[in-house]
Structure 1
Amino acid sequence: RRRRRRRRWWWLGLGLGRRRGWLLVQCVLPVAGVRERERAGHIRRQRGVGLPANIVVQLSKLSGLKRYKISEILLFNRRRTEDSFFEMVSLRPGGVYTKAQLQKELETLASCGMFERVDLESKTKPDGTLAVTVSFLESTWQGADSFRCINVGLMPQSKQMEMDPDMTDKEKLEYFRNQERDYRRRIERSRPCLLPVTVQREVMQMLREQGRVTARLLQRIRDRVQKWYHDEGYACAQVVNFGNLNTREVVCEVVEGDITQLAIQFQDKLGNVCEGNTKLGVIRRELPKQVIFV
């Protein structure tokens, strides 16, 4: 049976001078072939991978000139199969990324300190998108029997020197000693944090129940500490680092949100500025001294 070709009708109006009439002209255009070519071009645009479906592609094999749409993101922990670090990955299903962006994501995960090893591979899907699998090995440390929280606000971030892989055993020992000495000095220059003893006891209980210190446990400690600060109104407080992980003590570094400029105003019930009866010295006396630097 012969396929009937669709026809598209175009009407062209032509003015006829003083009579102001219109001449209707039928233009018959075969559009079936055009639509097929448009559909084929659309499919080619969707298939940004340019490879057959169900093919595992290493990150190094992706083209640096293309953009790839990610339809699925899977995380695989070589030690566990549940409770993966989804919040650590910034890639999102439905997003479009270049090879450089995927490589940057891998480097960020590898350098965050939470993983001993991270790999990223992709698999082509029939619709032309990629399913990305991030496999990792969670970092672990020896068990800890003490916990300390310090306020490192207004202090420069500690920069850890990279260890040369060609170091001798004696040089490595000296390297770790220098690290421990520098970190002890950092702790001495820090200020005590506002975290109450009750929350610190909760953290110690978490450490005792876990046994070994893991990256997942550090995430739980971070969430518990930050929750207390945010519940108490310290919206800018943030856990920025964990130190002394190679010892029996876990040090939680917190930036509590130091106040460097303070202006006091009195307002009435309508929010208008007015004169107050309370002395400014009384108000300043009630402010937390740990975060006020004016």
Structure 2
Amino acid sequence: MALALLVPGGRGQLGRDVVAAAPEDGLVHAPSSAELDLTDASAVADAVAVFASSARDAGYRPVVVNAAAYTAVDAAESDADRAFEVNAVGPGHLATSCREHNVPLLHVSTDYVFPGDGTRPYEPSDETGPRSVYGRTKLEGEHRVLSTWDRSWIVRTAWVYGEHGNNFVKTMARLATTNETLSVVDDQLGSPTWSLDLAHGLLELAAAVSSGATPPRVLHATGAGETTWHGFARAIFTELGLDPNRVHPCTTADFPRPAPRPAYSVLSGKAWADAGLTPLRHWQEALSTAITTHAVP
């Protein structure tokens, strides 16, 4: 039996790649955040009810993949109420409706739920401790989803870039055309993640849980390996055929931002692999494919 997917945030960077990667024999409804506002409980209830009923009537297994989020990390510091509504209240509404209609829910979260002072890859079970409004609201969203519906799963990811929306790869490519040199922070460590690879991982998980599998309820999915933003930028320049020595290292202190950035954001993929899910490929391989296939930038 094929999957039917409801993808809130379906017009965003990740949502559009989930749609692109979805099997052709499935059914996909991917409303934008304007079309389906997760902060509107009645709208969410109606959307999930209609989706679940129509999917089952047509012989599909329904799954919700929530790609909607307030992701403006710096803006959230001065817009905390709205960030909380979108990142915490909204997912809670979604989990409630999924519970009422017995629909598995995959909810995408972030490395920002951790304090960022680690020295080894964070496991899903490690103690959280967000230091930004964005991270705190995303963590509250996780709590509401997990406590509301026992067929819900959290997938944390990090440093996502893709064909759609604004992201680091596009920014570096744009700045390369106007700046002879660039300064990029070299004291923050993480794992770049191509949104299309993440989308394939989410779809694999969706297929598994819709068939009755019970993997751990909190999982991490990022590109394999690790680097700094400076190292990532140099790799981008190299893949674009540009001189990577145009990218110079600097410190986080050189570029203060409203929201604190985690110094260490590497997430362990062990639980993901142990659950029988396909590990995402190494971030450098993914970046090369993304750029050479013109999917990015």
Higher strand proportion:
1
Q: TM-score, normalised by structure 2?
A: 0.22
Q: TM-score, normalised by structure 1?
A: 0.22
Largest Rg, 1 or 2: 1
